[in-house]
Structure 1
Amino acid sequence: MDASLKEIQATFAAVDEDKSGFIDVNELQRALVKGGYTLSLTSCALLIRINDNNGNGRIDFQEFAGLHRFLFQLQAAFAQAAGSPTATQINSTQLKSALDILGYSWIDGPAFSAMCLAFDPTRDSLFGLTEMIAIGSYLRSLTATFKGFDPQGRGTVSLTMNQFLYAASNTR
């Protein structure tokens, strides 16, 4: 069940340690660790960036509410693919199902395999919710960046090396 607006406001107030009205990457990382998710500072920065609508490097309450919805969607897809709301890991087949639920059914086999390897340093083909959050954030950023180079929605782009560097940097 999705959290109520009051619950999200209370969570925002608790995460906003300096009471600035914004959450920065360090505050988000500390909050996620308290919630049991060990995400790198880079992954937390990506979570901030994909929800930072005004580009100031921090998220306000409305942007935090969007982040909260995004994390809830990832958790729900993870649980549905696992077949259990209490599952702590899913295999690569279940991960593909979770990504399909989230609208990423366009990912083909070779691209999916390469992505799995990138997010599975132990090579055990098992993914926890922490990895699911990192993958979901990566795909959301990747999709937005690609759409910026493909405004007509053709599904193909041509990039210079500098554009490729820009695009690759935007997905981290």
Structure 2
Amino acid sequence: MDNSAVLREWFQRVDSNSTGNITAPQLKSAFAVGNLEFPLSIVQQMIRMYDFDRNGTMNFEEFVALNKFLLKVQNAFSSLDRRGLGFLTPDDVYEALVKLGFSLDSPAFYTLCEQSFQFF
């Protein structure tokens, strides 16, 4: 079964009332089955980002676009998490941003990380 067929099957299972659209709570529950625990507010934001027809739900095409984005994020994370820790350190993020061409003030970056996240 190709990836499109797998995604279609998955989408149809999540769309339990067969409307052709899934809601944020349905998507959140589906993520949870795959051990991906996102707050509902994050799932709602994902839907807003990919709700191209602006109906407040996600159709199959929008779901495919979200899936592509999540796979890119997962692949990027995996390439940055070279030590296999399951999280990124500020050094990992700093290195990635510099490789992407961002010119960062190192002390300011680490100060921001310290103030914004509980890394240290």
Q: Structure 1 length normalisation: TM-score?
A: 0.57
Map of 2:82 onto structure 1: 83
Map of 2:58 onto structure 1: 59
Map of 1:46 onto structure 2: 45
Q: Which has the higher contact order (CA 8 A, sep 6+)?
A: 1
What does the per-residue CA deviation read over 1:120-154, in whole Å, with 9 as the maximum and x for residues that have no partner? 4xx136xxxxxxxxxxxxxxxxxxxxxxxxxxxxx
Q: CA deviation at 1:22?
A: 0.6
Structure 1, gaps ≥5 residues long: 126-172
Q: CA deviation at 1:71?
A: 0.5
Map of 1:92 onto structure 2: 90
| TM-align CA RMSD | 2.9
Matches within 5 A, 1:70-149: 70-83=69-82, 87-97=85-95, 106=102, 108-109=104-105, 110=108, 114=112, 118=116, 120=117, 123-124=118-119
How many equivalent residue pairs?
117
Q: Do the aligned partners of 1:77 and 1:98 also contact (CA within 8 Å) in 2?
A: no
Amino acid at match of 2:25: N
Q: Which structure has the greater CA radius of gyration? A: 2
Amino acid at match of 2:88: I
Q: Do the aligned partners of 1:23 and 1:58 also contact (CA within 8 Å) in 2?
A: yes
The CA distance in 2 between the partners of 1:69 and 1:99, in whole Å, is 22
Q: Do the aligned partners of 2:14 and 2:26 also contact (CA within 8 Å) in 1?
A: yes
Q: Structure 2 length normalisation: TM-score?
A: 0.78
* Identity value in percent: 21
Amino acid at match of 1:124: F
Runs (4 or more) in structure 1 with deviation over 6 Å come to: none
Q: Do the aligned partners of 1:80 and 1:98 also contact (CA within 8 Å) in 2?
A: no
Q: CA deviation at 1:93?
A: 2.3
With over 3 angstroms needed to count, the CA separation of the structure-2 counterparts of 1:58 and 1:34, relative to structure 1, is same
The CA distance in 2 between the partners of 1:113 and 1:53, in whole Å, is 37
